[in-house]
Amino acid sequence: MEQGVHAYFQTPMAYYYNTDLIDDLKSYILSLETKGIDSNVSVNIKHNLVESNFGLFLDDTKVIKDTANWIGRSIRKTVNAIQQEDIGYNIQFNESWYHITKTNGMHEPHIHPSCSWCGVFYIQSGDKDSGHTVFNNPITSTYIDRGNLFLNNISTLRVPAEDGKLILFPSYLSHYQSLYKGTDDRIVVAFNASVGKIERPKINNLGDN
């Protein structure tokens, strides 16, 4: 190994864009007229927002199927690129849901357990200058001095909303939606996914009988 400074423990994230889905997806979500937090999960850290149950991608509606399929392909592409493979991964969506965030809505810091990849797909971003999705650096320290001020400089990553943008991130990343000040509702789809390898059938060469 060469002398000098090396950086390790990087966290991969991925961004993809699809504006073809968002109009139909928005219309479908609004047609459901969800009230409150239907999931009943961590209600105390969710403020002034509407949340569906966690089975959105189980719906048989075409736009939901198309959305889940596109996101699944994006996850496959991401994992193949990171792990330098070319595998047809089996993507399972453990949970999937939508948020409709109202003015002064926010979602406090949290992580998503029991999955390897998570994501947020912005359907209607509203005010892009507030309500950023904020990711916390997983490397933390109980002590800061002049020797590790660089940790302050990389303590958070703030991602502004954008219609049709998909963010994929590892499940261990703590994240939150900061205070949203827009007057138009912000609509996002979110999900937790697990990734398995597709087992192809073995071909046995039995030779000539």
C-alpha dihedral (14, 112, 41, 130), degrees to nearest 10? -40
37-71 pLDDT, tens digit each: 999 999 999 999 999 999 999 999 999 999 999 99
Q: How far apart are CA 154 and CA 68, in angstroms?
A: 32
The rounded mean pLDDT for the chain is 93
DSSP string of 28-48, one letter each residue: HHHHT---SBTT-SSGGGEEE
pLDDT of residue 209: 38
pLDDT of residue 207: 44
Q: How far apart are CA 193 and CA 187, in angstroms?
A: 20
Q: How far apart are CA 103 and CA 71, in angstroms?
A: 28
Could you identify the residue written with the tokens 């912005």?
A: 122
160-195 pLDDT, tens digit each: 999 999 999 999 999 999 999 999 999 999 999 999
Kindly indicate the confidence band of residue 72, based on its pLDDT and cuts at 50, 70 and 90. very high
**Residue 87 in tokens:** 């595998």
Residues near 205 by beta carbon (within 8 Å), at least 6 away in sequence: none
**Residue 74 in tokens:** 């994006």
Mean pLDDT of 138-151: 89
Contact 138, 174 (CB under 8 A): yes
pLDDT of residue 106: 97
Mean pLDDT of 77-100: 95
Kindly indicate the confidence band of residue 141, based on its pLDDT and cuts at 50, 70 and 90. confident
Angle between helices 22-31 and 62-83 (to 10 degrees): 130
pLDDT of residue 44: 97
Could you identify the residue written with the tokens 């849901």?
A: 97
Report the SS3 class of residue 77.
Answer: helix
